[in-house]
Amino acid sequence: MRRHADDLAGEPPAGPGGREPAEVCALAASALREAARLVAELTPEQLVELAAGRARFAYETTAGPPGGAGPVTVPTQLRPARRAPAAPSSDVVGTAVLAIRELHTPGEVAEHLGRHRYPVPTLKQIARALGPTVSTAARNRADLERNIVEGTAGYRTRSAAMSGGAWS
């Protein structure tokens, strides 16, 4: 619901549940302290399971509903457990490496990578397989693709330009 600015004059914005933002922040800080206390009580084995995504915290109220029916458990998952990415196929990596080595210009390599849209783990394997001129240190897909372009055809182009074609 959108409200006109004149309707809000003199009213601070309300947070969740109609609470003031400062009160919501104080409640959140208190809840985080309680969660940290609970995490500190976990055994090392439980911490490993939690960190690996094989366990999760559950929200449970301590006061039962009217009628004395006991606590209500509502499982909440803060973040889905990450699945280990599938290992890139060696056939895909090998085929890509052969194709990239056959390309002569940085533009051709960039076009090849754009056309195939390899997953990032596969791009990293391709970069490793291409050899030491290709850096695998990249923050994202674009950086990794740029490293592959610059470490293959870009490297050959720069080398040829510096030697004046003497080794061609």
In a structure prediction context, what are the per-residue pLDDT tens digits for the chain, which is 168 residues long?
Answer: 444 444 445 555 555 566 677 777 777 777 788 888 888 888 888 878 878 888 887 777 776 555 555 444 434 444 555 666 677 788 999 999 999 999 988 899 999 999 999 999 999 999 999 988 888 888 899 999 999 998 888 777 777 777 775 555
Letter for the amino acid at 57? F
d(C-alpha 105, C-alpha 163), whole Å: 17
The predicted structure's pLDDT at residue 64? 53
d(C-alpha 153, C-alpha 150), whole Å: 6
Q: Where are the domains of the chain?
A: 13-75, 90-161
List the Cα angle 158/162/167 in 5-degree steps. Answer: 95
The predicted structure's pLDDT at residue 109? 92
CA atoms within 13 A on the CB side of 128: 9
The predicted structure's pLDDT at residue 82? 63
- Nearest residue to 127 (alpha-carbon basis) of 137, 142, 116: 137
Report the predicted TM-score, pTM, of the whole model to 2 decimal places: 0.46
Query: What is the DSSP annotation of the chain?
Result: ----GGGGTT-PPP-GGG--HHHHHHHHHHHHHHHHHHHHTS-HHHHHHHHTTS---EEE-SSPPTTT--PPEEE--SSPPPPPPPPPPHHHHHHHHHHHHH--SHHHHHHHHHHH---HHHHHHHHHHH-TTS----SSHHHHHHHHHHHTHHHHHHHHHHHTTTT-
The predicted structure's pLDDT at residue 128? 93
